[in-house]
Amino acid sequence: MNPIVLWRLSCAAHKKKIPLVPRLLKTLIFLVYKAILPCEAVVGPGLSLEHYGLGIVVHPNVTIGSNVRIYPASGPRPSIPTATPKTGSAARPSGDTPNAAP
């Protein structure tokens, strides 16, 4: 099972005000993937969590745009100027490749 599928199920249950299900799914995501993906976050289509989202932490008040790729951070990374929404120091828009020649 993919963490994004579990995260989206958690978000859907939260929006429908189904008690306990979002918390159970968030706990399952943490136990399996060591990631904190809260149901309160707003997530656009096309989200990609690289390396199965291992160790990724998302703040509950964040809004993640469309076609965003989030990598687990291993340290500071240079920012890439783009109009595509990004989140976190290790996020890259879909289609961008690290260390690509200009």
Q: What is the pLDDT of residues 21-64, one digit of tens each?
A: 999 999 999 999 999 999 998 888 988 888 878 888 889 999 98
pLDDT of residue 96: 53
When the pLDDT of each residue in the chain is averaged and rounded to a whole number, the result is 79
> Long-range contact list for 72-80, CB < 8 A, 24+ apart?
none
Q: Sorting pLDDT into bands at 50, 70 and 90, what band is 71?
A: confident
Is residue 93's pLDDT more than 90? no
Residues listed for the chain = 102
Residue 51 DSSP one-character state: G
| Residue 26: predicted pLDDT | 92
Confidence of residue 17 (pLDDT cuts 50, 70, 90): very high
CA distance 71 to 17: 30
